[in-house]
A and B are shown apart, each in its own frame.
Chain A
């Protein structure tokens, strides 16, 4: 019997809880997250289970609504990045030549910027609505998906069954979607989970700097930032959103590792094999936090 995949279970359950909290937020929240009350910096009470912030707003409600923003932006950006990146990677691997060169060199240029810096720059010039933020963050992670799909696809195109499909007269697109894509899907799903963690990190970082979704919308990053001047008096104002961010990032990482083990037994030693990574793309693939 296979050993229980603990990481998959813990990661999955935590994420499911977070998503449920985000979806049910309006029902669960004890108050309107934007409503200011005269109870400034109040401690825990029946009306405010986690207390109130410096504007008298209910902290639990703000956390729940913040989860909606973080998960929505992260989900949207990873959806865009994974779809776009995978298509670009597959295209490069199928057509090779000029397409390959242009696409993959553009990805190199994106990776030449420190991620959070590129996000700050893009938001400054492009603006920061919810959809714009998701777009900006998706740009940061598109190269990762493109390279992943590109590498896996190149490996598969040389196999006999793809050659057989070609011999039978299957078109380029047919090969790509019917034979190549299913073979690169595993690593891409794993990467999706890891990227969701990164996306939440970047979103909360931008929000922390005041560059996220416009105030007074409740976001975790802004809650951390707003706790700055009151942290000595009310440390919990910093602790709650920090716990939320860490929980989201940590569980997406756990889920990613768990999925890796579950989806592809060949990949089990990946972490260790990356140690011996000698090409530039391998090393960039080992890049961790933003």
Chain B
């Protein structure tokens, strides 16, 4: 296990470095002069241009820029936002927990609902429950997350008034209000993952049900409960864990759309502020944070996989 861990860790580090390099090089994609685009004026004064160029470090050689940027990024220093002048790291620190909260609740919901639903569907493939759950799952996979979110705003927020349609209240000032605001975005996010978890659980259970050891367990007279709970479900969960890990990663992308719909002040609004104000360093910072989190999640999935399945450690 030790060797496997070290190999995965090194691979993740290399990947994170590559990701950081791509994020750094994004600035080079800007057509024309970055500084002019950022200043947004048709004819900016030469002093302004020189000042911003110096602030962005563009007046130095590329390799020096890269080393400086990377060195600061590792320490969480991304400089100041272009228009607001606030420290980017301060804004990041305030918003990361809010995005994590949404994503975390969505993941927990997905596990608590997806696995039982999948297991129940697998009990009677082709049965009424299987068809119903399967049909809803296909719908959940076909509708884009932002459409589901908009429909939820309309249905539960504006028509039924069950929950506030959009917005955010700080937990410390109004805990109940905070929880009421979190429901719709978190459930929307969860609904995009539940079908995947549910289908994977169902398929994996069906696979396992045909294994010899399950037949043995049944033939030695074990109660169906024990057979399903102990022999089938446990062995079926390995691929489900993988899929949950992968979904946690794609969740990081989808959360941007969901936060935008529900006006949730997480990383997304910071990113979109940067996008709209052409604040490239800010966009780079948010993209880097999310992408590195994705690499980290992949590493955790690999580690979990090695723990659960001894075969993978030697491969």
Q: What residues of chain A have their CB less than 8 Å away from a CB belonging to chain B?
A: 105, 108-109, 112-117, 120-122, 124-127, 201, 204-205, 208-211, 221, 224, 227-228, 231-232, 235, 238, 242, 245-246, 249-250, 253, 271-272, 275-280, 283-284, 286-290
- The answer to whether A286 touches B246 (Cβ under 8 A) is yes
Query: CB-nearest residue of chain A relative to B158?
Result: A232
Q: What residues of chain B have their CB less than 8 Å away from a CB belonging to chain A?
A: 15, 18-19, 22-23, 26-27, 29-31, 138, 141-147, 150-151, 153-154, 158-159, 192, 196, 200, 203-204, 206-207, 239, 242-243, 246, 249-250, 252-254, 256-257, 260, 271-272, 274-276, 280, 283, 287, 290-291, 294-295, 298, 302, 309, 311-312, 315
- The answer to whether B150 touches A238 (Cβ under 8 A) is yes
In the bound complex, residues from chain B placing their C-beta under 8 Å from that of A275 are 200, 203-204, 207, 239
- Known A108-B15, A114-B290, A208-B146; judge A288-B196 contact (CB<8 A): yes
Instruction: Give me 27 A-to-B residue pairs in the complex whose CB atoms sit less than 8 angstroms apart, sorted by A's number.
Output: A112-B294, A112-B295, A112-B298, A114-B253, A114-B294, A116-B257, A120-B287, A121-B287, A124-B283, A205-B144, A208-B146, A209-B257, A228-B150, A231-B153, A238-B150, A249-B144, A253-B142, A271-B203, A275-B204, A277-B239, A278-B311, A283-B242, A283-B243, A288-B250, A289-B145, A289-B192, A289-B254
Question: A224–B243 Cα gap in the complex (Å)?
Answer: 30
A-B contact count (CB 8 A): 150
A249 shortest CB reach to chain B, Å: 6
- The answer to whether A124 touches B275 (Cβ under 8 A) is yes
Query: CB-nearest residue of chain B relative to A113?
Result: B291
In the bound complex, residues from chain A placing their C-beta under 8 Å from that of B138 are 250
- The answer to whether A126 touches B29 (Cβ under 8 A) is yes
Query: A232-B158, A272-B203, A289-B250 provided; 17 other pairs, C-beta below 8 A?
Result: A112-B294, A120-B256, A125-B29, A125-B30, A126-B29, A126-B30, A205-B144, A209-B272, A242-B151, A245-B143, A245-B147, A272-B206, A272-B207, A275-B203, A275-B239, A278-B311, A288-B250
Query: CB-nearest residue of chain A relative to B154?
Result: A231
- The answer to whether A232 touches B252 (Cβ under 8 A) is no
A243 shortest CB reach to chain B, Å: 9
- The answer to whether B250 touches A238 (Cβ under 8 A) is no
- The answer to whether B147 touches A109 (Cβ under 8 A) is no
- The answer to whether A113 touches B200 (Cβ under 8 A) is no
B62 shortest CB reach to chain A, Å: 16
**B19 is contacted by which of A109, A122, A125 (Cβ under 8 Å)?**
A109
- The answer to whether A276 touches B287 (Cβ under 8 A) is no
Question: A228–B159 Cα gap in the complex (Å)?
Answer: 14
In the bound complex, residues from chain A placing their C-beta under 8 Å from that of B280 are 124-125
- The answer to whether B250 touches A120 (Cβ under 8 A) is no
In the bound complex, residues from chain B placing their C-beta under 8 Å from that of A122 are 26, 29
In the bound complex, residues from chain B placing their C-beta under 8 Å from that of A120 are 256, 271, 275, 287
- The answer to whether A121 touches B23 (Cβ under 8 A) is yes
- The answer to whether B315 touches A278 (Cβ under 8 A) is yes
In the bound complex, residues from chain A placing their C-beta under 8 Å from that of B22 are 109, 113
B192, B242, B311 — which one has the most chain A CB atoms within 10 A of its CB? B242
Question: A247–B253 Cα gap in the complex (Å)?
Answer: 23
A277 shortest CB reach to chain B, Å: 7
- The answer to whether A232 touches B154 (Cβ under 8 A) is yes
In the bound complex, residues from chain A placing their C-beta under 8 Å from that of B29 are 122, 125-126
In the bound complex, residues from chain A placing their C-beta under 8 Å from that of B250 are 114-115, 287-290
Query: CB-nearest residue of chain A relative to B301?
Result: A283
A126, A209, A242 — which one has the most chain B CB atoms within 10 A of its CB? A209
Query: CB-nearest residue of chain A relative to B34?
Result: A125
A124 shortest CB reach to chain B, Å: 5
Query: CB-nearest residue of chain A relative to B30?
Result: A125
Query: CB-nearest residue of chain B relative to A277?
Result: B239
Query: CB-nearest residue of chain A relative to B253?
Result: A114
In the bound complex, residues from chain B placing their C-beta under 8 Å from that of A116 are 253-254, 256-257
- The answer to whether A113 touches B19 (Cβ under 8 A) is yes
B117 shortest CB reach to chain A, Å: 17
- The answer to whether B254 touches A290 (Cβ under 8 A) is yes
**B147 is contacted by which of A211, A224, A279, A280 (Cβ under 8 Å)?**
A224
B110 shortest CB reach to chain A, Å: 13
- Known A116-B257, A121-B283; judge A205-B146 contact (CB<8 A): yes
- The answer to whether A250 touches B275 (Cβ under 8 A) is no
**A209 is contacted by which of B143, B150, B200, B260 (Cβ under 8 Å)?**
B260
A120, A210, A227, A275 — which one has the most chain B CB atoms within 10 A of its CB? A275
Question: A268–B50 Cα gap in the complex (Å)?
Answer: 62
Question: A290–B246 Cα gap in the complex (Å)?
Answer: 11
B147, B192, B203 — which one has the most chain A CB atoms within 10 A of its CB? B147
Question: A44–B192 Cα gap in the complex (Å)?
Answer: 32
B31, B144, B153, B159 — which one has the most chain A CB atoms within 10 A of its CB? B144
In the bound complex, residues from chain B placing their C-beta under 8 Å from that of A290 are 250, 253-254
